[in-house]
A = this chain, B = another copy of it.
Amino acid sequence: MFNGEHPVPVTIYDVAKQANVGVGTVSRVLNNSPRVSPETRQHVLDVIDTLNFRPSPLAQRLSRRKTLSIGVIAVFFTRPSVVERLRGVEAVIAASEYDLIVYNIETPAKRDDIFCATAANRRVDGLLVISLTPADADVERWRSAGVPVVLVDTHHPALPRIVVNDVLGGYQAAQHLLELGHRQIAFVGDPIHTAFNFTSSQDRLAGMRQALTEHGIAWRPEYHQTGEHDQQAARALTHQLLALDDPPTAIFAASDTQALGVMEAARDLGIRVPEDLSVIGFDDIEIASYLNLTTIHQPLFESGYRGINLLLQSMDVIDSETPREELALDLVVRSSTAPPAHASPALV
């Protein structure tokens, strides 16, 4: 083999000539059309094999007018949960004929850019948008450009989506703590307004408050702490909670990442989990099981997996419905939650 030679491109015409058939026949063989006799098919396949022919994906895409690419738009790289969803996406794409194109969003401005660009530049056959909420104008652009879109973990009335019921999840988490006998339950979550309008934290809080109300427990504003979505912010917030005169006996964190911070704060202060403080998270990211964190399991991998399947499906059947799949949430009881030390401790 020579050095630096450029690969000899074998085309469908070379195959046709070599096999003494027309290009149409070769194309039919390539696409498993039934309109080829078995002998001809085998002969063509032999020639393809001999010449080591691979159809040019570029030519296929142009003539089929499909990019064979799927775009995924998300704020990756900050929340481990999104990365886990992406794993589910990748698993499906890898087994398909499509390529996975990743658009990382770091700012609201970039989000708007990418939303616009994907509608205009015809580079993807379909889009999966994770945890980002498009505006009506974005949706209209995609629609008129003919780009199918599926949402994961977010919502728009006109688009199919894969969601979980965060309100219910928050309710379940609180219910678990209530059943254990806790009455002083605090919440650590995201601010009401995040840069990307993430709503899951608020929804989870809403569910929790509903559960408290049903148990006749009044809401205590001082038990409600919000801050950036990371472990260290949650740690600091927890320090505040635990410094209260009447500290909570249980803390519900809006995500596992934040629950890690809560547990870290407890350790800082020598407060034992779960004996002195129960902690429950949300998401069930990988590390949660290592740390024996009780949490609400959310099927992250599956959300990506199902989302892409829904997208692929909505790409070849043009149905006008907007399916909505709700994935189940499960309480996973590990060892970060337990009944409170005393029925109702008066003071620390």
Q: Are B77 and A99 in contact (CB under 8 A)?
A: no
Closest B residue to A124 by CB, please name it: B99
Interface size on A, residues (CB 8 A): 45
Q: Are B67 and A230 in contact (CB under 8 A)?
A: no
Q: A54-B121, A54-B122, A267-B267 are in contact. Are A144 and B104 (CB under 8 A)?
A: no
User: Nearest Cβ distance between residue A19 and chain B, in whole angstroms?
Assistant: 21
Report which of B1, B69, B145, B290 forms a contact with A230, defined as CB distance below 8 A: B290
Cα of A145 to Cα of B320 in the assembled complex, Å: 44
Chain B contacts for A325, CB-based, 8 A: none
Cα of A90 to Cα of B86 in the assembled complex, Å: 15
**Is A239 at the interface (CB under 8 A from chain B)?**
no
**Is A343 at the interface (CB under 8 A from chain B)?**
no
Please state the number of chain copies in the assembly.
2
User: Nearest Cβ distance between residue A233 and chain B, in whole angstroms?
Assistant: 9
Would you list which residues of chain A between 59 and 97 have a CB under 8 Å from chain B? 59, 61-62, 65, 67, 69, 76-77, 83-84, 86-87, 90, 94
Q: A123-B57, A231-B287, A267-B267 are in contact. Are A145 and B101 (CB under 8 A)?
A: no
User: Nearest Cβ distance between residue A51 and chain B, in whole angstroms?
Assistant: 14
Q: Are A1 and B144 in contact (CB under 8 A)?
A: yes
A→B interface (CB under 8 Å): 1, 4-7, 54, 56-59, 61-62, 65, 67, 69, 76-77, 83-84, 86-87, 90, 94, 99-104, 110, 120-123, 144-146, 230-232, 267, 287, 290-291, 320
